[in-house]
């Protein structure tokens, strides 16, 4: 093959005896046979009769090209497990090669254990084949339904970061990570190679990247496959790995090379770990990796209709497309299937022959049954301190200031202390900026690269993982959670959009795995979004975007939760709740700047348990109000309370009710979200006919969406972020978006029937106050201290 | 400095004469002085009096750490421009170093030309300083307001891809791209290095990456700065570059090294281009790059309050934080400012001394005034073929099938043919999959890496850019558009979420630049989203997400447009419109699978001009209808028409109106979006009181949001994607989400007053039809041909 770079290859070793070679090749053929069968066959699974049109699926949906490579690697990892009793999980970067992973789970018996309807016999084979990419069956990609997988393989780019996440704090685990050469072109994968600077060989397991250069994507060659070999090797060494290359298109040679390469790699991993764990070696190791260069669609049809298929992009999906209607294609399919010599592999009943089954590991050592790939099996609850011990005293609401995330930091510090083996805090170099610095009293930042004097809290033992890549933070955390551990991702609110698509896929995974009884619940993915839209004083418009919540709200309600903590004590209560939850994505939005505290800890707990409620101390209404001032988010809460303060002074006979919302999913009816407040309770809070002025943290539309089916919906007027942002003062930001206290008072005057004429003077004063505030800010470069220093009940 | 790796350095060259060295150092000091002034000073800009508290800003908002490095590079690039008359633009990866770029634009006079209120005198300096990060002033980051910038610098990761985008088809341009070592940790940047495999030295300009290793991010060292030098060099060589290293903390030495390095790099670039353009050399060149290792916060305060600041992460933002209230800090600030010896740099009137001004280039050669950095100045309209020539004949609506994107492909082929210097088609290896293959009749895929026999349409001259990274596709296109060219990004709908955050930033850039009269309009960013949620037969749930439209709808209405083309002819009309538009983001969603054609080209043009309208041929209502069936998107349109077909047969006296929506922003009132339909026209289409069953392509909520203020809103019932997806047949997909024809008929029966009793039998038949369809699909693995073969008016 032209891209084989044969000159770089050593002579083929002979690691496998002839019998071993024959057996491992047979096992590979069995997996390939089952893969092709899944893509093509409805019936006649053992080819006991000539292949007829009705045996073939009417719609051929799947991907063959990557599959023989995945199967080859799987068979050889089985050999390593057998020889060394190694504890290995298999991450499938080219996840579209779904049939391969299903085939292997079937060959080692796991599939029939998990899906008892699909037995190890001819009827089981028939069902196995039929269900693949079939209505009511299983997806074409590696997915939650696939035993042994920890991630949905549809969206490429995350294999390596998931692999590292799985390896952290699992010292005995080796995570074999197959990276497709197409996937290797993505940004997250390209950045992910540097994860080795964050892996501690003492405490963590190992990741063995296997870069599978089969040369092609859907219709193009891949970049890495078309580099001169020296350049590729330089790249991989630059990433900090020692590549071991295997290349060829002769099975016997490739089997021998790959067996030798895996032996070498696992020897090396063991040596690295031994040296590190004995204390003999302290510096960051150069970990081994495999470069496997084999043809795309290997062992499939070489030429179809005169076009070269094997070894080219044409084998990406289904090499033979007309097997139902074109007898020549069908004939070629039959030859292809028979080329694996199925009768040598399966007995008359369709059961894998015992000498082949003996090659597969048993029990939990099977990669398809390894409990690390069903993390809920290994999940242990966090040992959580009593969050009430971290509460800030609040003698009177809205009079004292705290930094909410700093309050939380002290709690997280002790979560880290108590859970040294199963909790990590991820963040793109923002943990200190986000005022969670107390965690560094308990731990350091994970760091295996070089250090110099004066470095701040860096060590191989650190449990805070900081890298300037939201993709890595998210991917590591996903891998860590999916293998049964816990964590929090703290992120600037605007930049969490960088991982929108990763969130989407994780939420989909959770939705699906919740429907699979054998998948055990895992810890929730907890986002702490701070440095939020309203307080980007240093950065301006590029850092202002509260839209992640909208994205989250599009996913299935049973897996998403959103909490807007108005102050430090509510943040403590919310975080405690989220750290105890399972199988959710929890989005927590909180401020980091000094801000008023509203609730003492008991009130905070009561408030968070309800998720929303009346703040009577800020309300003038005792019975039915004239107007409801609702708020969600720390800054909207501040402005709402300041507006309530103006109203109670200026219009003392107006009955104002203040409602604060922490859990915004409570706004939906119970039919839409499990947290939904019953209509009657909603109406009791928000009335059925009074104006509601709702000050919301994000894009206003979400509140309409959530309250759309409520009785009083037409009276709900929402203020929020309307995409007016820049570098300016906090109060100027709220004014730019009409969310300021003065505007809220104007809204009340304009919306409460009959108030406009009675409060015309006040209304004008509010208009003037806005102008004056703006002038003050522009002149002094800071907010009028009368405004920024506002506190409840202080003139 | 400990990380200097002095052993790798060659002896310091002496490229600059003593006078040249003194001058370039003075220029650098001037830029540094202006940068510090912007961060700190309200007044006393020339330090003509001792620095007092009132001269200092009350809120210190900006980033010093990266700025001296940015200024150093700028000064040396000016030298290159002067010596070689080079055409260079400057991409600021560490965009938070905003003061540096503003300072340089001011030093070369551009700032005062663009912002005439800020003159080249003491009063101008005072205003320049005051406005920075000040209410009503300019952002702290490099932004649209910054002359010479082509991107907002707030979100890191895109410098290199923007640089390559700018270089494509600009053979005389050199794009100098400063990459921060923090930014280098991001995924998009890590993948972006490989852009050199897509840059043609004959036709394109050059990119000169300058990796600035100042060692630290916000609170952490950077990964690349802490690699052994050999490993870093191996990485960069593996990426295909030849690194030239400059390192030190002695200005004189660094000036000499950097001057020599730039001379070498520009010599090398010229040699590479000469060899390629003369035909002497065909293979992909190894381009030079610079590695610049200097201290973070260089020339700033070394130690503050006993802590080392210069050369550490502590210099990231403001090294001295209490200059207003702490006299010691203020004193240190004054010493820092005076260390630049401002009186040597500026005359008594505050004007830069002429011998320094002489170092800056003039006119368009100034990087701050280079027209490539204000792309609209160079924008030439596309030479567009008449899209009507590509129309498919439609003799009768909804009876013949076409693939919409294949129809478009022929048109795009000729757009490429006619615009060989200013149009590119980007896509993550999906152009053929998305059925735009006709473009390969006119061009190839851009490819500078190795080729082998059998490769399909790869060449250095290709104008289709395919790489398996949405980040690269988006970033290249942004850079290409921002420098005055045109393009389309074709992408699988679900995976465009990968670039959500890039879209956000581009949309914000457009919003801001539209408010700056000196920024000229650029071509719109056109997305063609296909392989959409409803037709992911091969891939399933991971590939099903129509939520990008929701993200887009959160941005400012003046810059976003969304078009859902129901068929090939409408797609042609929409694309022609988008390619002529300016300063928008256009999202076009269209199908690629064989589907019914609805409109002949004249009807399509008329329909697209209105953006929405009644399809009378499918309606039974001639006057006021009993019910409106509205639809947006190809599959919802199909199901709506099939439902209309059932209704006209089964309930012939029911007056049904079918409305199709192409431009969904028309649904909003004119107060919300420039495309908004006046209320009267909206009511004329959708009635003011009749039920509207709206079948929508995406998440249903968006339609409610857009129509929220309409008279008849409470009667609008929307069906769309409700996050129910898997690998299944097309009709099963719509059934899973209650968007199928049978369910739409049920909706009509349930919503039209009085129909429920009259149509009870039909309703039950619809329920049964759904069950039967589901059974058929599960049994046969394909849809019932009666359903999939439906056409208008065929029994």
Contact call for A541 and B467, based on CB within 8 A: no
Cβ-nearest to A187 among B191, B433, B505 = B191
Cβ-in-10-Å burial (0-12, 13-18, 19+) of B207 comes to buried
3-class SS of residue A515: coil
Q: How far is A181 from chain B (nearest CA, A)?
A: 10
Is the minimum CB–CB distance between A298 and chain B shorter than 8 Å?
no
CB atoms within 10 A of CB B11: 6
Regions of chain B short of the pLDDT cut 70: 1-10, 795
Q: Which residues pair with B458 in a beta bridge?
A: B445
Q: Give the count of Cβ contacts less than 8 A between chain A and B.
A: 370
Q: How many CB atoms lie within 10 A of CB B609?
A: 12
C-alpha–C-alpha distance, residues B661 and B667, integer Å: 8
The DSSP code for B791 is -
Asked if B525 contacts B478 with a C-beta cutoff of 8 angstroms, the reply is: yes
Residues 6+ apart with CB under 8 A from B26: B344, B345, B356
Percent of chain A at pLDDT > 70 equals 99
**CA angle B264–B265–B267, rounded 5-degree value:** 65
Do the Cβ atoms of B469 and A187 come within 8 Å?
yes
Let me know how long chain B is.
795
Which residue ranges form the domains of chain B, and what is each CATH number? Answer: 19-372 (3.40.50.970), 387-597 (3.40.50.970), 614-789 (3.40.50.920)
- Give the integer Cα–Cα distance in Å for B454 and B451: 9
A672 touches chain B (CB under 8 A): no
- The rounded distance, in Å, linking the Cα atoms of B218 and A435 is 13
CA distance A598 to chain B (A): 26
Starting at the edge strand found earlier in the chain, the sheet holding B206-212 runs B87-92, B173-180, B206-212, B287-293, B241-247
| A185/B312 touch (CB, cutoff 8 Å), yes or no | no
**Segment 105-144 of chain A within 8 Å of chain B by CB:** 130, 133-141, 143
B619 touches chain A (CB under 8 A): no
Q: Give strand pairing partners of B176.
A: B90, B208
pTM (whole model) above 0.90? yes
How high is the pLDDT of residue B505?
A: 97
For B726-755, b where at least 16 C-beta lie within 10 A, e where not — what string?
bbbbbbbbbbbbbbbbbbbbbbbbebbeeb
Residues of B in contact with A718 (CB under 8 A): none
B residues 487..516 contacting A (CB < 8 A): 494-495, 497-498, 500-501, 504-505, 508, 511-512
The CA radius of gyration of chain B, in Å to the nearest whole number, is 30
d(CA A170, CA A121): 37
CA B258 to chain centre: 32
User: For residue A542, which residues of chain B lie inside 8 Å, CB to CB?
Assistant: 95, 139, 141, 143, 152-155, 505, 508
C-alpha A468/C-alpha A519 separation (Å) is 33
Spatial separation of the C-alpha atoms in residues A202 and A222, rounded to whole Å: 36
Determine the Cα–Cα distance for residues B42 and B343; give it in Å rounded to an integer: 19
Q: Report the Cα–Cα distance between both ends of chain B, in Å, rounded.
A: 83
Residue A657 host element (H or E): strand A656-661
For residue A13, the model assigns a pLDDT of 82
Q: Which of A218, A426, A469, A537 to mutate to test the interface with B (most CBs of B within 10 A)?
A: A469
Distance CA B132, CA B118 (A): 12
pLDDT value of position A2: 35
Note whether B771 contacts A: Cβ–Cβ < 8 A: no
Q: Which member of B58, B217, B699 has the closest CB to residue A429?
A: B217
User: In sequence order, what DSSP letters do the residues of B514-576 get, joined into one string?
Assistant: HT-TTSPP-B-EEEEEES-GGG-TTT-GGG---THHHHHHTS-GGGEEEEE--SHHHHHHHHH
> What's residue B476's pLDDT?
98
Task: Tell me whether B54 touches chain A (CB under 8 Å).
Answer: no
User: Is B664 within 8 Å of chain A by CB?
Assistant: no
Nearest to A435 by CA among A459, A463, A460, A412: A412
The tens digit of pLDDT for each residue in B647-693 reads 999 999 999 999 999 999 999 999 999 999 999 999 999 999 999 99
CB contact under 8 A, A495 and B472: no
CB contact under 8 A, A154 and B539: yes
Could you say which residues of chain A have pLDDT below 70? Answer: 1-10, 795
Token couple for B282: 């065909």
> Is there a contact between B154 and A221 if contact means CB atoms under 8 Å apart?
no
- B contacts of A188 (beta carbons < 8 Å): 187
**Residue A697: what pLDDT?**
98
Axis crossing angle, helix A98-107 with helix A18-40, rounded to the nearest 10: 120
């Amino acid at each position: 093959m032209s891209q084989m770079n044969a000159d770089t290859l050593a002579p083929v070793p002979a690691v496998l005896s002839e019998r071993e070679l024959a057996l491992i090749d047979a096992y590979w053929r069995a997996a390939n046979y089952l893969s092709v069968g899944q893509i093509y066959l409805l019936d006649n699974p053992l080819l006991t009769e000539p292949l007829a049109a009705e045996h073939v699926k009417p719609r051929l949906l799947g991907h063959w090209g990557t599959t023989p490579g995945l199967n080859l690697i799987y068979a050889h990892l089985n050999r390593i497990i057998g020889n060394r009793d190694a504890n290995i999980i298999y991450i499938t970067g080219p996840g579209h090669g779904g049939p391969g992973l299903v085939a292997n789970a079937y060959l080692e018996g796991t599939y029939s254990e998990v899906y008892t309807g699909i037995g190890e016999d001819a009827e089981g084979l028939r069902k196995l084949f039929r269900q693949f990419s079939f209505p009511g069956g299983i997806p074409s990609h590696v997915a939650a339904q696939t035993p042994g997988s920890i991630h949905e393989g549809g969206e490429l780019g995350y294999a390596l970061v998931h692999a590292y996440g799985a390896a952290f704090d699992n010292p005995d685990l080796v995570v074999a990570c197959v990276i497709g050469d197409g996937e290797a072109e993505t940004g997250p994968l390209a950045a992910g190679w540097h994860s080795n600077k964050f892996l501690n060989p003492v405490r963590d397991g190992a990741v063995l990247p296997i870069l599978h250069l089969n040369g092609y994507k859907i219709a193009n060659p891949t970049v890495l496959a078309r580099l001169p070999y020296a350049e590729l090797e330089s790249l991989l060494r630059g990433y900090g790995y020692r590549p071991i290359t295997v290349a060829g298109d002769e099975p016997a040679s490739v089997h021998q090379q790959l067996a030798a390469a895996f032996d070498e790699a696992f020897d090396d991993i063991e040596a690295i770990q031994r040296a590190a764990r004995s204390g003999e070696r302290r510096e960051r190791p150069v970990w081994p990796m495999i470069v496997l260069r084999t043809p795309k669609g290997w062992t499939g049809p070489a030429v179809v209709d005169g076009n070269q298929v094997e070894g080219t992009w044409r084998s990406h999906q289904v090499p033979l497309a007309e097997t139902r209607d074109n007898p020549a294609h069908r004939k070629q399919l039959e030859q292809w299937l028979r080329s694996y010599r199925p009768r040598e592999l399966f007995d008359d009943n369709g059961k894998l022959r015992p000498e082949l089954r003996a090659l597969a590991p048993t029990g939990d050592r099977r990669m398809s049954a390894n409990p690390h790939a069903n993390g809920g099996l290994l999940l242990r609850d966090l040992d959580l301190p009593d969050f009430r011990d971290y509460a800030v005293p609040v003698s009177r609401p809205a009079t004292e200031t705290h930094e909410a995330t700093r309050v939380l930091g002290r709690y997280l510090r002790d979560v880290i202390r108590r859970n040294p083996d199963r909790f990590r805090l991820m963040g793109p170099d923002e943990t200190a900026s986000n005022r969670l610095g107390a965690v560094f009293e308990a731990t350091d930042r994970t760091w295996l690269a070089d250090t110099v004097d004066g470095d701040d809290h860096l060590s191989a033992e650190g449990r805070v993982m900081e890298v300037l890549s939201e993709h890595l933070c998210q991917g590591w955390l996903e891998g860590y959670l999916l293998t049964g551990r816990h964590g929090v991702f703290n992120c600037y609110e605007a930049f969490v959009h960088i991982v929108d698509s990763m969130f989407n896929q994780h939420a989909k995974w959770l939705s699906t795995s919740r429907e699979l009884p054998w998948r055990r619940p895992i810890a929730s993915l907890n986002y702490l979004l701070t440095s939020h839209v309203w307080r980007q004083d240093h950065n301006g418009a590029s850092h202002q975007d509260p839209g992640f919540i909208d994205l989250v709200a599009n996913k299935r309600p049973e897996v998403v939760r959103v909490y807007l903590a108005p102050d430090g004590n509510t943040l403590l209560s919310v975080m405690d709740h989220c750290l105890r939850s399972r199988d959710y994505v929890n989005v927590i939005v909180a401020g980091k700047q000094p801000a008023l505290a509203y609730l003492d800890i008991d009130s905070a707990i009561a408030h968070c348990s309800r998720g929303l409620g009346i703040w009577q101390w800020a309300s003038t209404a005792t019975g039915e109000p004239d107007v409801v001032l609702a708020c969600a988010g720390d800054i909207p809460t501040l402005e709402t309370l300041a507006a309530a303060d103006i109203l109670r002074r200026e219009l003392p006979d107006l009955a104002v009710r203040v409602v604060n919302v922490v859990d915004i999913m409570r706004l939906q009816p119970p039919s839409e979200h499990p947290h939904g407040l019953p209509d009657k309770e909603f109406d009791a809070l928000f009335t059925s006919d009074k104006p509601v002025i709702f000050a919301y943290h994000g894009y206003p539309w979400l509140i309409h969406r959530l309250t759309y089916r409520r009785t009083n919906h037409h009276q709900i007027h929402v203020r929020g972020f309307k995409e007016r942002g820049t570098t300016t003062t906090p109060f100027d930001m709220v004014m730019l978006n009409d969310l300021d206290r003065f505007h809220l008072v104007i809204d009340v005057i304009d919306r409460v029937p009959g108030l406009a004429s009675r409060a015309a003077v006040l209304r004008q004063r509010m208009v003037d106050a806005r102008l004056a505030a703006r002038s003050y800010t522009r002149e002094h470069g800071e907010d009028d201290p009368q405004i920024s220093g506002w506190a409840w009940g202080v003139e």
